[in-house]
Chain A
Amino acid sequence: MMQRLHKLIFAGLLLLLGSLAVGCVEDEPITPVPPTPTVADPIPPKHPAIAPTPTSIARQFPLPVPTLLPVAARPSSQNCVDCHTDAETLKAMAETVEKAESKSEGEG
């Protein structure tokens, strides 16, 4: 019993001496590590970056007629317009259909 007690006291003294020895050593300085570069992925803002300045618009009647489709959704008709506004093209492409002469006589 006495022998076990001596062992515990001896171990406690060793721990105390070790702690004192460590505490007397000078602290090593911490060297800052440069930050790791990351890819920017900003979240799109929900609102315009610059708030529009409110302006008062005079209402003019009649109001413009609402369009049936958003402009971007309307199919282009440029091919139609290009041909049907060019008289020379129309003349060149016109197909003359021979129409049988009517035998009608008198007033209709």
Chain B
Amino acid sequence: MPPVEVWEKINVSDPEFFKTLHARYGCTACHGGTVDIYDKDAAHEGLVRDPSKDDVCATCHRQTVEVQADSLHTDLEGYYTVLRARSDEAHWDQLMIGFELHCTECHATCGQCHVSRPTFLEGGLADGHQFKKTPSMTLACTACHGSRVEAEYKGKNEGVRGDTHWTKQGMICANCHTGDKLHGNLGDRDHRYDGPEEPSCTQSGCHEGIGAKQDEVMQHTDNHLAKLSCQVCHAQPYKHCYNCHVQKDEQGVPYFKTDPSKVSIKIGRNPRKSDERPWEYVVLRHVPVARDTFAYYGQDLLPNFDALPTWTYATPHSIAKKTPQNQSCDACHGNPEVFLTADDVAPDEFETNKDVIVDKVP
């Protein structure tokens, strides 16, 4: 999504905003700056562009802001968790130079979802400074989560239909990913797949009675439901990314390069098996990290690269009732195309993925 014009980013274009609660306190109450002066530079003296970075929102929304500090959107702990596993103390500081330059734009403040576009899109008021209780799906959620989630959900991957929650129900992200969960009310987590499934297909009041007597889907057997995550049968092909490398150009502008992505479904062994995610098989997505992703910033900055698989636990947003692998028994059973086998794994990554590769296709 292209950024908007500079003037448009700061145009408080909706007069209705001035009738709202947030406008009562005056611009300077949140943004600072200098009152009663019409000289541009002088008026902007002490200006705070994104007040929510400084917890201004906590003045009124204290409870939300307090837990938000633990939200993965705020603390990016998911990234740090996997990088800590793949790196070590000796390389950490050097690794963080590259990480902070390339990856921290993913950090989101309150305002970047509820008032403006995220920094990742170069900011700018989203709707004339109106505060949106539910952020715009397009300008907030999929502005960042576009390459994989949006493409899958809206059916932008060639030959793959959109997710049924979108195409048939028109559900927006916030219908499943509610504010409570996004704001960190579930507690401090190290990774987005920590703890029970959130959202859960069967525990959120939507798909109840799966496998019960009244369930007419004959494939919903005890064996299938115990061994397979929902996505194993109901995810359509989704995107895999490869070989991300980050560096800076001659002017010091950071950039990245990735190999072309591929779209397929790959069922593999569950790398995050737990009481809450007990399935033997789940769908796996290849993540773009490579052994030398940060090589520009130092040698061997991911010395423990093999500590985590590169084919990782996934929850694609390409759900459908009927998918290529659930058309018939043979579409899945004995079909190596839908499983992650050794042939699918690059030789350099075989060791790191050995626990998720399916040796014998069931």
Residue-by-residue, is B253-297 near A (CB-CB < 8 Å gives 1, otherwise 0)?
Answer: 111111111000000000000000000000000000000000000
Are B25's CB and A68's CB within 8 A? yes
- In the complex formed, the residue of A with least CB distance to B252 is A100
Chain A residues lying within 8 Å of B27, measured Cβ to Cβ, are 77, 80-81, 84
Please report the C-alpha to C-alpha distance between residue A33 and residue B147 in the assembled complex, in whole angstroms: 103
Docked-complex contact A77 and B28, CB < 8 angstroms: yes
Contact yes or no, B6 A94, CB < 8 A: yes
In the complex, are the beta carbons of B7 and A108 less than 8 A apart?
no
Q: Tell me whether A94 and B7 are in contact (CB under 8 A).
A: yes
Q: Which of A75, A76, A84, A103 contacts B249 (CB 8 A)?
A: A103
| Min distance, Cβ B214 to any Cβ of chain A, angstroms | 43
Residue of B nearest to A90 (CB): B7
Main SS of the interface on chain B?
A: mixed
The answer to whether B48 has its CB under 8 Å from any CB of chain A is no
- B31-39, B62-70, B173-181, B218-226 - interface stretch: B31-39
In the complex, which residues of chain A have a beta carbon less than 8 angstroms from the beta carbon of B36?
76, 78-79
Chain B residues near A1 (CB-CB < 8 A): none
Q: Which of B168-199 contact A (CB under 8 A)?
A: none
B25 touches A85 (CB 8 A): no
Given the known inter-chain contacts A104-B255, A104-B256, A108-B258, please indicate yes or no for A93 contacting B40, CB distance below 8 A.
yes
The CA of A55 and the CA of B255, in the complex, are separated in Å by 69
0 or 1 for each of A64-108: is its CB under 8 Å from B? (1 = yes): 010111000011111111111101001101111100101111111
Of chain B, the residue at the smallest CB distance from A96 is B6
CA distance A42 to B1 in the complex (A): 72
Contact B253 A103 (CB under 8 A): yes
Within 8 A of A (CB), among B227-259: 239, 241, 244, 249, 251, 253-259
Closest to B10 in A: A84
**When the two chains form their complex, are residues A80 and B10 in contact, meaning their CB atoms are under 8 A apart?**
no
B42 CB to nearest A CB, Å: 10
Q: Residues of B within 8 Å of A, CB-based: how many? A: 41
B1-34 interface bits toward A, Cβ cutoff 8 Å, 1 = contact, 0 = none: 0000111101111010010010011111101010
CB-based contact A91/B7 at 8 Å: yes
Provide the bound-state CA to CA distance between A82 and B35, in Å. Answer: 12
Q: Are A95 and B6 in contact (CB under 8 A)?
A: yes
A83 to B12, CA, bound (A): 9
Tell me whether A87 and B11 are in contact (CB under 8 A): yes
Whether B26 contacts A75 by the Cβ 8 Å rule is yes
In the assembled complex, the Cα of A73 lies from the Cα of B355 at a distance in Å of 66
Q: Which of B11, B37, B251, B256 contacts A90 (CB 8 A)?
A: B11
Using CB atoms, name the residue of chain B closest to A80: B27
User: In the assembly, what is the distance between CA of A68 and CA of B26, in Å?
Assistant: 11
Whether A80 pairs with B33 at a CB distance below 8 angstroms is yes
Which residues on the B side are within 8 Å of A78 (C-beta)? 36
Contacts of B18 in A (CB 8 A): 81
Q: Which residues of A contact B82 (CB under 8 A)?
A: none
Contact B43 A106 (CB under 8 A): no
Q: Is the CB of A94 within 8 A of B260?
A: no
A84 touches B35 (CB 8 A): no
Minimum distance in angstroms from B100 CB to a CB of chain A: 16
User: Which chain A positions have C-beta within 8 A of B257?
Assistant: 103-106
Query: Nearest chain-A residue to B18 (Cβ)?
Result: A81
How far does the alpha carbon of A91 sit from the alpha carbon of B7 in the complex, in Å?
A: 5
A105 touches B258 (CB 8 A): yes
CA distance A1 to B278 in the complex (A): 146
* In the complex, chain A residues whose CB is within 8 Å of the CB of B59: 68
Query: B28 — which chain A residues lie within 8 A by C-beta?
Result: 75, 77, 80
A sample of 28 cross-chain residue pairs with beta-carbon separation below 8 angstroms, ordered by A number, consists of A68-B25, A74-B25, A74-B26, A75-B26, A76-B26, A76-B36, A77-B26, A79-B35, A79-B38, A80-B31, A80-B33, A81-B18, A90-B7, A90-B8, A90-B11, A93-B7, A94-B6, A94-B7, A100-B251, A100-B253, A102-B255, A103-B249, A105-B255, A105-B258, A106-B256, A106-B258, A107-B241, A108-B147
7 closest pairs, A vs B, by CB? A106-B258, A77-B27, A90-B7, A77-B26, A80-B27, A94-B7, A103-B255
